[in-house]
Amino acid sequence: MTIVSPSHGYLAFRGEPTADLFRQAPTLPTDFLFGFATAAAQIEGGGPEAEKASGRGDSIWDEFCDRPGNIRDGSNVKRTCNHLEKYKEDIALMKSLGANSYRFSISWPRVIPLGGKGDPVNQKGIRFYNDLIDECLKVGLVPFVTLYHWDLPLELFKRYGGWLDKEKIVEDYTHYAKTCFDLFGDRVKHWLTFNEPWCTAVLGHGIGQFAPGHVSNTEPWIVGQSLMIAHASAAKLYMREYKAKQGGMIGITLNGDWTDPYDESPENVEAAQRKMDFAVGWFADVIYLGRYPQSMIDILGDRLPQFSQEELDLLKDSSEFYGCNTYTTNTIKATRTKDEYAGYTTMAFDKPDGTEIGVKSQLGWLRDVPWGFRRLLNYLYQRYKKPIYMTENGWAIKGESALSPAEASIQADDEGRVQYYNGYTQALKEAIQIDGVDVRSYFGFMDNFEWASGLVPRFGSVYVDYETFERTPKDSATSLMKFFKDNISTK
């Protein structure tokens, strides 16, 4: 049973359903999509010479990686997993493991190296994505395509500051999106305009951990508005000119983890909602509800850019579903901090009884909290009333990155990740079957370039030897795919 309080809109579970009810619930829908999720900048690069020969232009991540100290291990987006050469092998591996879909991103600078509407396209890049899509369809994987996963063409940043210039970037991004719809839309039926705009705005322009590495308390909100208008411009273009003839759908994927109040005191419940407003509502409330969360208006004042009526009309109904990336859960206290991006709340994992929620991972921010995942799915579905596509979820095991390639090949047993996936897929199943949440996909990971953390943390259920590019499936890949094989209806 779920209870929603009208006073603060916060969801909490009171008791669990009976085992009999769960056993009698229907299985997952026949058209449920599941498989592996990647991003171009995380997996495509085979080395500087190969990237140069491919015709890809530099992105802001190339420049960011070249600056000493930005990437934990000094690695670079130019050399990651060599998916550019090994895509057929990777697709065959995904299919052999049981996946029915592959979520990947198109690299804007690989298609249009300089990025702008008047700039030439790269035929080698276009050929690669045509071949990649065709290979997916050949083996029976549904291509689920992200148009922008953080790799802005560097030239556009040099020309006018990238996402800081709303008018110019919306025009160039929409042209890029149109190019992709024209080239690939006859075969791609699932489009995502952006992956995690919060990260582009905050990590890239607020605290400087991601490219382009800016530190500012004004830029994130400007960038956030540019991203939303660019999303809506491309999405409405697709709906207006392509949807009827190509038969696809388009939406956006947002990151955001569940926030559980430290206790049930009114101030901590309110703080948990405020944190959710800043993490999710910043983008989701505007796109799906047509307004900023009131808590953001109260805190940010005139730093929060206003939308014209024309822009609000453009944003309305601009995402046909809710794309969700999530990993963990935090407990939230009202104790004031300096973290504006968390609504000045205190994020932790402890509870009043002295215990902590969730098993620890290799990374300090990541805990294994499946019940929080279920609560998040309920919250998103009840608040935004859109079908949910789970587009990213994964786990980094403590100590796994220290294994040598030989050890990793022998020790394909990744029990912690198996446990994580078991918990999260069970929570997914319960949200669908018991709570009635409309969830339509779930994607895991393969080892890859983890942005500012470089090649150090391993989130994948497929091990990648970064010297030889050899792939080795881990136990979690088999168990994750088996879950969907066992739970998706064949009727």
Q: Which residues touch 66 (CB under 8 Å, ≥6 apart)?
A: 76
Q: Residue 408 — pLDDT band, cuts 50, 70, 90?
A: low
Q: Is the pLDDT of residue 23 over 50?
A: no
Q: Does the structure show a pLDDT above 80 at 2?
A: no
* pLDDT class of 47 with cuts at 50, 70, 90: very high
Confidence at residue 404, expressed as pLDDT on a 0 to 100 scale: 74
For the annotated catalytic residues, the residue numbers are 196, 392
pLDDT for res 122: 98
Cα separation, 322 vs 251, whole angstroms: 7
- Give me the mean pLDDT over the 95-118 stretch: 98
Per the listing, tokens 């150090």 go with: 456
Structural domains counted in the chain:
1
Q: How does strand 388-392 pair with strand 190-195?
A: unpaired
What is the DSSP annotation of 343-387? TTPEEESB-TTS-B-SEE-SSTT-EE-HHHHHHHHHHHHHHH-S-
Cis peptide bond upstream of 6, omega within 30: no
One-letter identity of residue 204: G
In the predicted model, is pLDDT for residue 7 greater than 60? no
Cα 99 from Cα 478, distance rounded (Å):
10
Higher pLDDT, 225 or 400: 225
- Residue with the bigger pLDDT between 398 and 431: it is 431
Q: Which residues are bridge partners to 488 per DSSP?
A: 28
Domain that holds residue 75: 2-487
Which CATH number characterizes residue 428's domain?
3.20.20.80
How far is Cα 58 from Cα 156, in angstroms, rounded to an integer? 10
Average pLDDT in the 261-267 region? 97
pLDDT digits over 158-204, tens only? 999 999 999 999 999 999 999 999 999 999 999 999 999 999 999 99
H-helix or E-strand spanning residue 100: none
The confidence score (pLDDT) of residue 398 equals 83
Comparing 23 with 43, which gets the higher pLDDT?
43
- Mean pLDDT, the chain, as a whole number? 93
Q: What tokens does 482 get?
A: 């088996």
Q: Which stretches does DSSP call E strand in 230-339?
A: 249-255, 258-261, 322-325, 329-333
